[in-house]
């Protein structure tokens, strides 16, 4: 019996929480380097295991049947989803996982409030205020993430969907949340009002992401990730749970930084992003009329590449969609055999999330030393003979309104492209009409295969 009492001692449980959040911090610390990152993630998972076990030890935590049911459902959905998702669909997956986290927070706040009412009164303010905050942010995060998922999965149109006076509608919805929350906090006991808050926040979550164009979606997912972290921290304040407070706030802080870094990389202010509209198309295209592009063939591309001394590969989302990363690696190896120096120039938002392209290329066994960041490789592009742009568009587009990989400064530019459509951002690309640019039309993978064959035959 002594052991049971000891295990259920609140101080022992709190000590386990301290171990858990220390492990989370070590996890994030180890994420600083590709070599230690994986270990970091395992350590984070161990921390999470400890936090869950510690909570199960709490005396008032009973109902093991229902707990097992919930965890079983979550595991049955989570594991197959995580195992089967393609690397290209990773941003959507992160959005979905983030959404359910926010949803959990909103539900927890609602149940907590209902429980308090069942006992007979509003909770104390120091629990009630964070509870209301958690409900609002959690609900926004849940619905916003679902919309972000819908847009990236192309269930919803990627272009911005905007109502007239959108900003005022959003402000109105936020006001509804704040006013209802204030009424509850000042003493009114009303489940209906709480529900109204959740609904208004849900509509706000939808309204807030719908007007944002597909190109800005990574920033939005990152922001919603930070939101969910903050809502978890708020829920922790309401529940007096240190593990929730620390872990939630760690995510809130890191997510905010990541959001700013991403916005900065795209040269877009957060205010601009949330005003919406980017990625809508229809803005350019007009001045491209009358200009012509130069198309080329695989044999020509092969010759240019094989006799270059330096080649920069600029991968984009199109490469990912065509699953061409392995073929590109083969081509790079073949070129390296001939003494060509091949580097990969990675735009911070190549793919649809920062680092997305690194993951895809790492999957294809490209050593990470070869993956060069934009600021690092841009000055070298003037000494590069050929830039091979594969399925990228916005990240090399001088008109995209963000810092780009400046392929225009290299000796020649070869662009592998499916068609003359504009990119995800919907803006025409003047680079295509430059004299040192040649386009090779077709599926990225097939094109690279053809070029590879030609190189091997040389």
Partner 1 sequence: MDLLTELTILVLAAFVGFEVISKVPNTLHTPLMSATNAIHGIVLLGGLYLIGPAEGFLNELLCVIAIAFGTINVVGGFLVTDRMLEMFKRRD
Count CB atoms within 10 A of the CB of residue 441.
Answer: 15
Beta carbon nearer to partner 1, 223 or 440: 223
String of DSSP letters for 150-188: HHHTTSS-SS----TTHHHHHHHHHHHHHHHHHHHHTT-
Give the interface size with partner 1 as a residue count (CB under 8 A): 112
259-298 residues in contact with partner 1 (CB under 8 A) are 261-262
Q: Which of 122, 241, 393, 410 binds partner 1 (CB under 8 A)?
A: 241
Q: Among positive and negative, which fits the CA dihedral 159, 160, 164, 169?
A: positive
Q: Is 394 an active-site residue?
A: yes
Beta carbon nearer to partner 1, 356 or 417: 356
User: Kindly report the CA angle at 313 between 312 and 316, in degrees rounded to 5?
Assistant: 140
Q: Which of 85, 179, 183, 199 binds partner 1 (CB under 8 A)?
A: 85
User: Kindly report the CA angle at 87 between 345 and 454, in degrees rounded to 5?
Assistant: 55
Question: How far apart are the C-alpha atoms of 317 and 89, rounded to whole Å?
Answer: 11
Q: How far is the CB of 224 from partner 1 (least distance, A)?
A: 10
Q: Does 118 bind partner 1 (CB under 8 A)?
A: yes
Q: Which stretch binds partner 1 (CB under 8 A): 17-25, 177-185, 276-284, 315-323?
A: 17-25
Q: Does 216 bind partner 1 (CB under 8 A)?
A: no
Q: Does 101 bind partner 1 (CB under 8 A)?
A: yes
Phi, psi angle pair for 219, to nearest 5°: -65, -40
Q: Which of 348, 391, 423, 426 binds partner 1 (CB under 8 A)?
A: 348
Contact characters 26-45, partner 1, x per CB under 8 A: -xxx-xxxxx-xx-xxx-xx
Q: Does 90 bind partner 1 (CB under 8 A)?
A: yes
Q: Does 395 bind partner 1 (CB under 8 A)?
A: no
Contact characters 361-380, partner 1, x per CB under 8 A: -xx-x-xx--x-x-------
Q: Which of 137, 180, 207, 247 binds partner 1 (CB under 8 A)?
A: 247
Q: Which of 181, 114, 103, 109 is nearest to 144 (CA)?
A: 103
Beta bridge partner(s), residue 440: 416
Q: How far is the CB of 200 from partner 1 (least distance, A)?
A: 19
Beta bridge partner(s), residue 413: 387, 437
Q: Which stretch binds partner 1 (CB under 8 A): 172-180, 181-189, 238-246, 306-314?
A: 238-246
Q: Does 16 bind partner 1 (CB under 8 A)?
A: no
Residue 43 CA neighbour count, 13 Å, CB half = 17
Q: How far is the CB of 260 from partner 1 (least distance, A)?
A: 10
Distance set, CA 92 to CA 100, 103, 228, 248 (Å): 13, 16, 16, 21
Strand 341-346 versus strand 371-373 pairing type:
parallel
Instruction: Please enumerate in sequence order all residues whose Cβ is within 8 A of that of 409, keeping only pairs 6 or more positions apart, or say none.
Output: 381, 382
Q: Which of 205, 255, 276, 391 binds partner 1 (CB under 8 A)?
A: 255
Strand, coil or helix: 253: helix
Q: Which stretch binds partner 1 (CB under 8 A): 69-77, 171-179, 271-279, 418-426?
A: 69-77
Strand, coil or helix: 136: helix
Instruction: Please enumerate in sequence order all residues whose Cβ is within 8 A of that of 366, keeping only pairs 6 or more positions apart, or say none.
Output: 325, 329, 332, 344
Beta carbon nearer to partner 1, 180 or 221: 221
Exactly one of 11, 27, 385, 394 is catalytic; which is it? 394
Q: Does 60 bind partner 1 (CB under 8 A)?
A: yes
Question: How far apart are the C-alpha atoms of 392 and 252, rounded to whole Å?
Answer: 31
Q: Which of 248, 316, 391, 426 binds partner 1 (CB under 8 A)?
A: 248
Count CB atoms within 10 A of the CB of residue 380.
Answer: 15
Q: Does 121 bind partner 1 (CB under 8 A)?
A: no
What separation, in Å, do the N-terminal and C-terminal C-alpha atoms of the chain show?
80
Q: Which stretch binds partner 1 (CB under 8 A): 250-258, 286-294, 307-315, 417-425?
A: 250-258
Q: Does 180 bind partner 1 (CB under 8 A)?
A: no
Q: Which of 254, 283, 323, 409 binds partner 1 (CB under 8 A)?
A: 254
Q: Which of 4, 58, 420, 458 binds partner 1 (CB under 8 A)?
A: 58
Q: Does 315 bind partner 1 (CB under 8 A)?
A: no
Which positions are catalytic? 394
């Amino acid at each position: 019996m002594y052991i049971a009492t000891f295990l259920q001692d609140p101080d022992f449980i709190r000590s386990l929480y301290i171990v858990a959040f220390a492990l989370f911090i070590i996890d994030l610390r180890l994420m600083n380097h590709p070599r230690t990152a994986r270990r970091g993630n395992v350590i984070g998972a161990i921390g999470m295991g400890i936090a869950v076990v510690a909570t199960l030890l709490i005396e008032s935590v009973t109902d093991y049947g229902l707990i097992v049911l919930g965890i079983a459902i979550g595991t049955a959905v989570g594991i197959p989803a995580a195992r089967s998702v393609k690397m290209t669909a990773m941003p959507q997956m992160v959005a979905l996982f983030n959404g359910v986290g926010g949803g959990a927070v909103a539900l927890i706040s609602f149940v907590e409030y209902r429980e308090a009412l069942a006992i007979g009164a509003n909770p104390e303010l120091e629990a009630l205020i964070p509870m209301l905050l958690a409900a609002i942010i959690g609900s926004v995060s849940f619905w916003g993430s679902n919309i972000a998922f819908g847009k990236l999965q192309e269930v919803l149109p990627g272009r911005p969907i905007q109502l007239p006076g959108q900003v005022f509608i959003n402000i109105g919805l936020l006001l509804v949340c704040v006013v209802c929350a204030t009424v509850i906090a000042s003493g009114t006991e009303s489940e209906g009002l709480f529900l109204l808050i959740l609904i208004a926040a849900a509509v706000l979550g939808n309204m807030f992401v719908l007007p944002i164009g597909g190109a800005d979606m990574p920033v939005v997912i990152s922001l919603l990730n930070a939101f969910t972290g903050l809502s978890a921290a708020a829920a922790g304040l309401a529940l007096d749970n240190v593990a929730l407070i620390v872990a939630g706030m760690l995510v809130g802080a890191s997510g905010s930084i990541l959001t700013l870094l991403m916005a900065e990389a795209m040269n877009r202010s957060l205010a601009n992003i949330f005003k919406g509209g980017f990625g809508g198309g229809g803005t350019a295209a007009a001045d491209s009329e009358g200009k012509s592009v130069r198309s080329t063939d695989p044999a020509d591309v092969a010759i240019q590449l094989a006799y270059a001394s330096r080649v920069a590969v600029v991968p984009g989302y199109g490469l990912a969609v065509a699953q061409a990363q392995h073929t590109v690696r083969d081509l790079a190896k073949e070129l390296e055999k001939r003494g060509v120096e091949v580097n990969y120039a990675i735009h911070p938002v190549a793919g649809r999330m920062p680092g997305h392209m690194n993951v895809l290329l790492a999957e294809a066994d490209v050593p990470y030393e070869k993956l060069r960041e934009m600021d690092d490789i841009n000055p070298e592009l003037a000494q590069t003979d050929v830039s091979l742009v594969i399925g990228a568009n916005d990240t090399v587009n001088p008109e995209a309104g963000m810092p780009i990989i400046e392929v225009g400064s290299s000796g020649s530019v070869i662009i592998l492209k499916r068609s003359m459509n504009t990119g995800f951002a919907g803006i025409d690309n003047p680079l295509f009409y430059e004299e040192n640019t040649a386009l090779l039309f077709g599926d990225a993978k097939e094109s690279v295969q053809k070029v590879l064959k030609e190189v091997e035959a040389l």
